[in-house]
A and B are shown apart, each in its own frame.
Chain A
């Protein structure tokens, strides 16, 4: 026992946690639980703790004796109002946060400032900072632009770090704002350089020391986030700046970033090659925004190019069932242009994450542990560099290419394009039907089996949503990705792709963020939710219930961290020790978890578990009908492992 502790016990001082841990404390806590109001009157006052380095104000706050901190003062025009005006000018729709003292000034402004308080941005309550950032991740993937997240000093940043890392890996734009307070009672939750915690996994950060600098930094953070290579950008805002009297300070006008496309010479060369080609092709990877997708469609239609897409794997790619999408009528392509993906003759590829390696100040080498550098997850792997690459943002290049094609294309060429397009459309249609027929034949197996076939789950769900405006927000590789061949991914947000780095816990938060995006856009969100993932941060369900988000959660409940079960099983086999103990530490048995009860506990209408396949369709229909009415719904489905 340390001297300090011995002295403390001798003097009768005891910490709150220790107090509640004693039987007397437990009894008091129990009383509070049974009759909070009455017990609060009669229970002995909580004993004030004085931890080393902790002020009396901090101790009071720690035991729940909350009162306005000393730093609060009345001002006519608080600096945080101007910060909110900057967010409003940027059209930030939502700010997700778990409330915290280091940004109480900013939070108060969000909910109260202006003629339309708590709108643009709206404060979104999250139950964990990891959920906050995952929500922003899902939102940005669906909308192609950031929402904001408020994080508390060192602690909130630490809680959110895995989610930030995944957004960094996926190059998803997010505006992160961290509150910092090292002047009052939160020194243990602060640091000189809190941004340093996540510097290696963010694109940019700033810690302005003046209010004017803070307003500039928020705008610059937004610009940095949306400029390729996109990614999370962080602004640290001291509490004092939030509470400062702004006086007559004006909010600076926002100047959007100038995102560079290919050069004029390259534009001419690409346009000329596309127009001159007998059978051009355009390979489309992941663009940044819906505008980029519509421009890619316009270019393909203009030159009659067959196209490939990654829309079954990532957002912001070419519509999968567009008549020009597919192998086309002639696969002997004489000119292939890549847009954010490799092309044979040319590829326009914007700056990617590897250009941020200089940000890895810790030298950890995130995501680049092998040589040559390879990303951890394939479907959004940056294309391999080639001598045909033009290093510029493809989306920013498209308007100039389209204009140049218009300029040089003759009417006779337009006629040829029309004929070619018609031939492509017919061939692609035939290929798509044949591919679907084969896919369905392959997925007949186990149709009547229990637990339920994932192929059946995807097929029956598709029947119910195919005529809706939907967004599949969850990664699907753990549920065998049947959407890729059974569903039609025709919108920029049809499928939001994978986690970024395979981090579990992403799915429920990102889907909730996608549902925030969907809420005012007559869209529904589908979340094929893995059980292991939901158990990481289930509190996002409450956010979905509280904000009436249109999210259908269909549990892929295989009662395991199934990938790891297979790993353990294989390893045991390699070592000649059998697989009958591989379930240890990899399965969720004894007891089984009731996800319907979990959903209900958080206020989400729920049902299940469903193991009889004949009852699945009706349950899915109830779910889709509820979500279309603007309420989340959870269906616990006992599924095959894969």
Chain B
């Protein structure tokens, strides 16, 4: 039942944006879900479907004791409903990250060129 609901619900990305902020998801994933533990694009397998996303959230809630090696906070259904979680999922799927390639990023390219030009043992 829960699985069917999740698949059918879709989600409200606008509401998901508010929830993403209120539940401080940004604290680890960044305001645009691109930092530290990125969720945008193909960065994380749990973003492949709503169901995977929900399963990951709830999996943590079922662990007892909570795995201290995993820094992902626990989100039980009693604190973050399926509907809310799916809204967050919809928001995350609405985000894009299109950073320039290394070769097209003048700052990064200058850094790399400087490192290459540092020579092979000529300076201290």
Contact = CB atoms under 8 A, between A and B. Distances in A.
Interface string B65-89: 0100001011110111000000000
Interface in A408-447: 421-422, 425-426, 428-429, 432-433, 436-437, 440-441, 443-447
A642 B40 CA distance: 16
A562 interface: yes
Given A444-B105, A445-B35, A573-B74, A421 B23 contact: no
A433 to B, nearest CB: 5
Contact of B99 (A426, A447, A572): A447
Nearest to A572: B73
A443 B100 CA distance: 11
A437 B113 CA distance: 10
Interface stretch (A195-203, A334-342, A458-466): A458-466
Interface in B17-63: 22-24, 26-28, 30-32, 34-36, 38, 40, 43, 60-61
A617 to B, nearest CB: 8
Contacts of A573: 60, 66, 73-75, 79
B68 to A, nearest CB: 9
Interface string A572-589: 111011111011000000
A264 to B, nearest CB: 30
Interface in A484-503: 486, 490
B108 interface: yes
B121 A422 contact: yes
B100 to A, nearest CB: 6
B118 interface: yes
B110 interface: yes
Contacts of B76: 576, 578
A440 to B, nearest CB: 5
A466 B115 CA distance: 11
Q: Size class of B's contact patch?
A: 35 or more
Given A446-B30, A449-B30, A562-B27, A425 B35 contact: no
Contacts, number: 150
A263 B38 CA distance: 54
A418 to B, nearest CB: 11
Contacts of A444: 99-102, 105, 108
Classify chain A: how many residues form its interface, as a range: 35 or more
Contacts of A480: 36
Contact of B27 (A433, A565, A577): A565
A322 B120 CA distance: 10
B112 interface: yes
A229 interface: no
Contacts of B112: 433, 436-437, 440
Interface of B: 22-24, 26-28, 30-32, 34-36, 38, 40, 43, 60-61, 66, 71, 73-76, 78-80, 97-102, 105, 107-108, 110-112, 114-116, 118-124
